[in-house]
Amino acid sequence: MAEDVAADQSGPAFDPTVSHSARIWNYWLGGKDNFAVDREAGDRVAAMLPSIVPQARADRAFLGRAIRYLANAEGIRQFLDIGTGLPTANNTHEVAQRVAPDSRIVYVDNDPLVLVHARALLTSTLEGACDYVDGDLRDPDKILAEAARTLDFTKPVGLMLLGILHHIPDADEAYAVVRRLVAALAPGSYVAINHSTSAVSGQAMEDAVRHWNKVGTPSMTLRTPEQISRFFDGLDLLPPGVVSCSRWRPDRSGSSGEPDEVDEFCGVARKP
């Protein structure tokens, strides 16, 4: 399914006339760091697939729940967040440092606009640390080398790959990148992945992504929940496994029943 939905693999250029993933995402999350072209592309996709806005917000809410879980329950104090996106409310370091002020966070993105806004991501507590690497997921060795300025890779790290692996069209390359990153982590580290699929909305999601791939960069490649599960091969997947991110340990306060599924599937796993 859906590999044909992928377009070419072009890297980001700071061109305000071409819509871009980080800025459209920012628009859907209610942010202000986007251009008219991003809002037009975002509205067009939302017209084809109204669930995309709740999906973006469910993805972001998963980020918060996953980090709080890792920081609170597993005592993780270091995070490597690749595919950071534009700063918004509840960035990784804010969530982690609210639990443990001594948390150390490295952000990585390859979008020039995210780099411009990176200062807003570097507001660490005095006890902790934040750094930003202008890097590409397809070059994991560079990311690991630069992240080592801030993170101690002999100790557990929470590797966050949220909303980014679907930007690598070649499945073999995507799996290889994750394997390389995981190999560098100490036992007891965790990997959190969130990845677009069309398991819930089917054709509507595939049409929306096909449109995205005509107007936006970088391209998106949808994968099935089974293909997403393969990113966790060799790791201990935590309950409830690979599920729609709205259903990963949802906050049940004040709500009844299961949240609606969205076409963003996720999982969290431990390196044995």
Ligand X SMILES: C[S@@+](CC[C@H](N)C(=O)[O-])C[C@H]1O[C@@H](n2cnc3c(N)ncnc32)[C@H](O)[C@@H]1O
Would you count residue 114 as binding ligand X (CB under 6 A)? yes
Q: Which stretch binds ligand X (CB under 6 A): 32-40, 57-65, 95-103, 238-246?
A: 57-65
From the CB of 258, what's the least distance to ligand X, in Å? 22
From the CB of 215, what's the least distance to ligand X, in Å? 15
From the CB of 196, what's the least distance to ligand X, in Å? 9
From the CB of 242, what's the least distance to ligand X, in Å? 16
Would you count residue 94 as binding ligand X (CB under 6 A)? no
Of 232, 170, 233, 242, the C-alpha closest to 199 is 242
Q: Are 128 and 141 in contact (CB under 8 A)?
A: no
Q: Are 251 and 173 in contact (CB under 8 A)?
A: no
Question: Which positions from 150 through 209 interact with ligand X, judged by CB under 6 A?
Answer: 162-164, 167
Question: Which positions from 235 through 254 interact with ligand X, judged by CB under 6 A?
Answer: none
Would you count residue 118 as binding ligand X (CB under 6 A)? no
Would you count residue 111 as binding ligand X (CB under 6 A)? yes
Q: Which of 33, 38, 94, 109 binds ligand X (CB under 6 A)?
A: 109
- State how far the Cα of 131 lies from the Cα of 224, in Å rounded to an integer: 33
Number of residues forming the site for ligand X (CB under 6 A): 22
Task: State the residue for tokens 């690749």.
Answer: 82
- State how far the Cα of 208 lies from the Cα of 49, in Å rounded to an integer: 6
Would you count residue 83 as binding ligand X (CB under 6 A)? yes
At 169, the amino acid letter reads P
Q: Which of 137, 159, 209, 238 binds ligand X (CB under 6 A)?
A: 137
Query: Which residue number places its CB atom closest to ligand X?
Result: 85
From the CB of 82, what's the least distance to ligand X, in Å? 6
Q: Are 219 and 8 in contact (CB under 8 A)?
A: yes
Q: Which stretch binds ligand X (CB under 6 A): 21-29, 116-124, 145-153, 231-239?
A: 21-29
Q: Which two tokens stand for residue 82?
A: 């690749």
Angle at 200 between CA 166 and CA 195, to 5 degrees: 20
Which whole-number Å values give the CA distances from 214 to 8, 18, 19, 270, in the listed order? Answer: 10, 11, 10, 37
Alpha helix positions (H), 30-159: 36-48, 52-72, 92-99, 112-116, 140-147
Of 200, 80, 50, 69, the C-alpha closest to 142 is 80
From the CB of 84, what's the least distance to ligand X, in Å? 6
Q: Judged by CB, which is closer to ligand X: 42, or 163?
A: 163
From the CB of 256, what's the least distance to ligand X, in Å? 27
Binding-site ranges for ligand X (CB under 6 A): 12, 21-22, 25, 59-60, 63, 83-85, 109-111, 114, 136-138, 162-164, 167, 218
